[in-house]
Amino acid sequence: MVCGGRPLIGEVEMPAAKNSILPILAAAMLAQGAVRIRRAPRLRDVETSMQLLAALGCPAVRIDGDLLLAPGGPVGDTVPRPLMAAMRSSIYYLAPMLARGKRAHITFPGGCRLGERPIDLHLKGLAVMGARIVADGDHLDCAAPDGLHGTEIHLRFPSVGATETLLIAAAAAAGQTRIFGAAREPEVGDLAHFLIACGARIEGVGTDRLQVWGGALHGCEYTPIPDRITAQTVLCAAAACGGQVLLRRAPLAPLQPMAEILTRAGCGIRQLGENDLVLESDGRLLGVGSLSTGVYPAFATDAGPLLAAAMLTARGDTALRETIFSNRFGCAAQFARMGAELDCDGRLLQIHGVPKLHGAALTAQDLRGGAALVIAALTAEGESRITGVDYIRRGYEDIARLFGQLGAKITEVCLPVHTAASAGVSV
């Protein structure tokens, strides 16, 4: 239940990036010693990763706020179907399974339904590194009897996930691997820095050409980078609601595109020291015209729905073109239920700002779209009820608490389960 219409004022600290910690947990399986991941958020996808690690014989335990793993023992060769289906990041486990155990039985990964999300780049890359992959329906039978070997790989698109799969594989492969057309997202760099902390040699981090020398890895302690998408969630909400927020652990560089857009919309944004950011807004935003999402360092696809939510009540128009996924704006129909004026034609979302939104019953259909509904509900007059919150939990440990620290009124309510018994039916 979100009670909207209040300014957001206060200070919040950004958690570790979901999209860093997920591949890092898979990569940790390669280490021959204890790995400690600091400040591991209690996200649904992190919990799924812990189940997956346990299923593969490499359990992770929580100690204080950290995750502790002791890799090095025998590795399982099968990921149960429900764990594959629970998130996209399950595919990150294929490379370490092949590197460590030489076999992997998996199914295609699940994840937010943002349109077609093939894994051909992951599989083709692993194949040229020596893996034999046979698909039978949605089952993938994979083996690397002679281990993985270094090679040259050219990605036709800078896929974040494929770059990460191949980085993990290359760190464990015999010899040298060169990846051309690599993704440059900060989370890819963070995975590379984790592998380097485990003893890997990697050059070109942060560029589209990565060079990796494979070898034995040791354990390490590692703190993933702060979550730039959570930071953008808070920035968009505070921009639209009005108020003043201080974001701790939110360096400006990866937030630059969003900071520029929100400045154009009328907000004041300034950096404090190296890692903190202040946003001030009177809540009367201006539409920002036409924008496109793109691969890093362009405006991030994950931030599209978040910005859209902030622009629903801006004066003037905003048009967002999504270039990465075909179904990014599933939240548009929910925005309309709150009185938003918009038109969504596949990858193009056109918003004509309205003076105010009203509370409504809403359903989250994916992670960032769900967070965008929370932002819209915070700006709306009255109360909104959002269901499908499990999607939001995949990437936000406790979104009610996150915004509660800024004065928002969000409560989690347990709706009565409509069981056969409660309906008075004997079974």
d(CA 182, CA 163): 6
DSSP assigned state of 339: T
> Under a CB-based contact definition with an 8 Å cutoff, are residues 182 and 158 in contact?
yes
Catalytic residue at 267?
Answer: no
Residue 89 in the binding site for ligand EPZ (CB under 6 A): yes
- Within 10 angstroms of residue 136's Cβ, the number of other Cβ atoms is 7
- Looking only at residues 131 through 160 of this chain, which bind ligand EPZ when binding is defined by CB under 6 A? 157, 159-160
Q: Which of 100, 117, 193, 393 binds ligand EPZ (CB under 6 A)?
A: 117
**Overall residue count recorded for the chain in this entry:** 427
d(CA 206, CA 203): 9
Q: Which of 4, 15, 161, 359 binds ligand EPZ (CB under 6 A)?
A: 161
Residue among 140 and 357 whose Cβ is closer to ligand EPZ: 140
Cα-based distances in Å from 30 to 75, 195, 315, 331: 10, 9, 52, 39
349, 30, 303, 352: which is closest to 167 by C-alpha?
A: 30
Given 3, 58, 112, 414, the catalytic residue = 112
Please enumerate in sequence order all residues whose Cβ is within 8 A of that of 4, keeping only pairs 6 or more positions apart, or say none.
357, 359, 377, 378, 379, 380, 381, 382, 383, 384
Stretch that binds ligand EPZ, among 66-74, 180-188, 202-210, 232-240 (CB under 6 A): 180-188
Residue 118 in the binding site for ligand EPZ (CB under 6 A): yes
- Within 10 angstroms of residue 59's Cβ, the number of other Cβ atoms is 15
Number of residues that bind ligand EPZ (CB under 6 A): 29
Q: Which of 2, 22, 212, 312 binds ligand EPZ (CB under 6 A)?
A: 22
DSSP assigned state of 416: P
Residue 19 in the binding site for ligand EPZ (CB under 6 A): yes
> Under a CB-based contact definition with an 8 Å cutoff, are residues 309 and 372 in contact?
yes
- What tokens does 229 get? 């998408």
Q: Rounded to the nearest whole angstrom, what is the least distance from the CB of residue 44 to ligand EPZ in the complex?
A: 12
Residue among 100 and 122 whose Cβ is closer to ligand EPZ: 122
Q: Rounded to the nearest whole angstrom, what is the least distance from the CB of residue 3 to ligand EPZ in the complex?
A: 26
Q: Which of 120, 146, 221, 260 binds ligand EPZ (CB under 6 A)?
A: 120
Residue 302 in the binding site for ligand EPZ (CB under 6 A): yes
Residue 334 in the binding site for ligand EPZ (CB under 6 A): no
The footprint of ligand EPZ (CB under 6 A) covers 18-19, 22, 88-89, 112, 116-122, 157, 159-162, 183, 185, 187, 229, 301-302, 324-325, 367-368, 395
Active site residues: 112
